[in-house]
Amino acid sequence: MSIVPGIILNDIVGLPIGIGDVLLVPARFDFCADVEGTTEYCAGSFGPDLPRLRSLFNCYDLHDETVLHYWLRARIPSAFHLRPATGGNQGRHDLLEFPFLAVVHSRSTATLTALPFICADGYRGPGLIFPKTGFDTSAKQRVAAAFWGVLLESPEDIAPFEEWVYDDESGLQKVYCGRDLLCICDLQEWDENRGRYDPHLAAFAGELFACPDCGGSGVEDVLTFREDCATCDGQGQVSW
């Protein structure tokens, strides 16, 4: 279905949020190839409190763009009460791709205009993708200011997630984002014979894996000396 030139609208999802004279509506749509623009109005230009976000995730050694990327993936579903598409396949390259329709009231006439945009990652970090033509700069600036304003108002209000994503340099990565922890783990390469990845090459906090000191047996076995492994208390499994 197409009610806005240049896009194919599939559904309206989540909870719309109004701020000023802009209504932000979570949607599912596809840009026509010749209409989609480039990423602009990046989140980093709208004053995110990066020390606050790093404290939220207890991470201090990642690039600003990476922190913003995964914070937005956790923040947008919470703000707009929506369930994003999940990853887990070898072709998934990005977890941050959220389409919206911004319904904007014209300041010169009594008309409403629907402006489509996508929150996605770009060369300068997370930003917004608008249509190439058809909307003036002032309208896009109003939408961008409203969108980032909604998300930055309550940065700690997030929806924790755990997903897989494919990186061209690192291969498959396992990502967890929640309060006090942002984990990005490189996983084993695709096993063509078994048709799956090994999801336990790296473990998240709280995830059980074989105790490295007893190999999962639960006992210490040195010559004739045997007793419960002190590391896992005889359970054979530990978490970190």
Domain boundary among 153, 169, 197: 153
- Report the pLDDT value the prediction gives residue 217, as an integer from 0 to 100: 80
Specify whether 142 is located in the same domain as 77. yes
The total of structural domains in the chain comes to 2
Angle formed at CA 88 by CA 70 and CA 83, multiple of 5 degrees: 60
Is residue 114 included in any domain, yes or no?
yes
Is residue 161 included in any domain, yes or no?
no
- Report the pLDDT value the prediction gives residue 29, as an integer from 0 to 100: 86
**Two structure tokens written together for 148:** 């980032």
Specify whether 132 is located in the same domain as 63. yes
pTM of the model: 0.75
- The parent domain of residue 49 ranges over 7-153
Specify whether 212 is located in the same domain as 124. no
Q: Could you tell me if 100 and 147 are in contact, meaning their C-beta atoms sit under 8 angstroms apart?
A: yes
Per-residue buried b or exposed e for 162-198, using 16+ beta carbons within 10 Å of the residue's own CB: ebbbbeeeeebbbbbbbeeebbbbebeeeeeeeeebe
pLDDT mean for each 10 residues of the chain (240 residues): 69 88 90 82 94 90 90 94 61 74 77 88 90 85 96 94 77 83 72 49 63 78 69 79
Phi and psi angles of residue 125, each rounded to the nearest 5 degrees, phi first: 100, -175
Is residue 228 included in any domain, yes or no?
yes
**Two structure tokens written together for 67:** 């922190």
